[in-house]
Amino acid sequence: MESDMMQPHELGIDLGGTKVLLVAGKVQFKAPTGNSFSPIRLKAILKEFILENQLHPTTIGIAVPGLIQENKVIACDVLPEFNAWNPSLDWDDMPYTFGLSNDVKAALYGEFPKINDEFCGGIIMVGTAIGAAFVSNGHEIRGSQGWAGELGYFPIPTVNGVKRLDELSGGQFLADKLGLNPGVMAKRALDGEQIVLQEIHKAGQYLGLAISGIINLLNPTQIAVGGGTLGLRGYWDAMSNMAKENTIPSFWKEGILRKVQAGEQVAAMGAVRRLRS
């Protein structure tokens, strides 16, 4: 059986809307990204990371927050400079095998490295926005074009009209609604500011509603939930309580929802594992 650990010739990259994480064995590096971050900048960071750490990768898995098809970025809202990017073609001067994965699909393999034929479950990542990936009886649910899992686009009716789940429960949308940056929002929540805590509670509840729908639809054994937004005070409890209240009782088992255990490297590691599969 292939090792769960990253091999010396492998390098994983988790490309996100606010930061990029590069991982090679026990070595890792972070850098800020943002709306204007480009493939040119990523290439420079990658070259420097390889040179400084005297690495010799042959395979590089890259997790991207967007729609991926045939190793090309079809759409990436949070990093628009990466739209239509294909590292195998655009970086053909680099002697590596590149494999792109949607970031949450990569995280699925990072969190569950040994998926057998009995496994029914998945992962939900709640960061700037929200994404998901699921497995049914050992097979990834990919959809007709491989794009299944865009949970952030799940429509939910509110008093202000139909909203996407991203707009109701995503970390960046929540911070924007409060007129704060994410760090200040988190601090004010810890300080017990009621307006902030109320909005966090509502955001968690909306996600819990969506999760209950998923459980009722797919009947999973386990869903791992991760991402920085979960760290907001009160978010997890609001989410899990609402999910339990609206799930078919016989479907709900203690521990069906748990926090991601693979840590911040989950998507980078998973991008490599998915490339192997």
| Element holding 40 (H helix, E strand) | helix 39-52
pTM recorded for the entire structure:
0.86
What average pLDDT is seen over the chain? 93
Q: What is the pLDDT of residues 17-45, one digit of tens each?
A: 889 999 999 999 999 998 999 999 999 99
Asked if 261 contacts 224 with a C-beta cutoff of 8 angstroms, the reply is yes
Give the pLDDT of residue 2.
43
Distance CA 252, CA 30 (A): 38
Of 237 and 145, more confident: 237
pLDDT-derived band of residue 116, with 50, 70 and 90 as boundaries? confident
Give the pLDDT of residue 177.
94
Asked if 210 contacts 126 with a C-beta cutoff of 8 angstroms, the reply is no
In CATH terms, is domain 115-260 a member of 3.30.420.40?
A: yes
Q: Where in the chain is the domain with CATH 3.30.420.40?
A: 10-107+265-276, 115-260
Q: What is the pLDDT of residues 215-227, one digit of tens each?
A: 999 999 999 999 8
What does the pLDDT average to over 145-169? 93
Collapsing DSSP to helix, strand or coil, 84 comes out as: coil
What does the pLDDT average to over 168-197? 94
What does the pLDDT average to over 101-124? 92
**Does residue 1 surpass a pLDDT of 50?**
no
**Does residue 3 surpass a pLDDT of 60?**
no
What does the pLDDT average to over 201-230? 96
Superfamily of domain 10-107+265-276: ATPase, nucleotide binding domain (3.30.420.40)
Give the pLDDT of residue 263.
85
Distance CA 210, CA 214 (A): 6
Collapsing DSSP to helix, strand or coil, 178 comes out as: helix
246: Cα separation from own chain's centroid: 24
Asked if 187 contacts 221 with a C-beta cutoff of 8 angstroms, the reply is no
